[in-house]
Amino acid sequence: MNTLLSTSTIRNTTVVNRQGDELGSIEDIMLHPDSGRVEYVVLDFGGFLGIGDKLFAVPLQAFEIDRNNERFVVDVTKDRLEDAPGFDKNNWPETANREFSEGVYDFYGHRDTYLRTRVNEPAMAN
């Protein structure tokens, strides 16, 4: 059955890697203000009871949906995730920052996707 997923449904959904290790949960979804496209998904990783959590930006294209287990799967190990572009819960990156977004897509091997979808968009503010 094909259905649309609302952001409220996706938020707090568990994210695992291909090895089945729990990586965290979806914190938010960031949309580009000019195009309306999903810029990246925010993954909440680590910490205990909200203390020490780190947030990571992950391209939407890096996720697969595991419908049977109602979770998302991303192809990254916990160790590699530690090196991913991330930010503190209280210090989010400037919105529509092209350099940050390109780094996110580069890290997950989706640079071509990022560039292809941005060809006809106005330049993002730095």
d(CA 1, CA 55): 32
pLDDT of 120 reads: 54
The list of the chain residues with pLDDT below 70 reads 1-2, 47-52, 95, 115-126
Q: Is the dihedral of CA 11, 104, 101, 90 positive or negative?
A: positive
pLDDT at 106: 92
Q: How far is CA 120 from CA 33, 99, 117, in A?
A: 14, 17, 8
Full set of structural domains in the chain with CATH: 7-118 (2.30.30.240)
Specify whether the CB–CB gap between 46 and 60 falls below 8 A.
no
pLDDT for 121: 55
Query: Could you tell me where the DSSP H helices lie in the chain?
Result: 7-10, 78-82, 98-107, 111-118
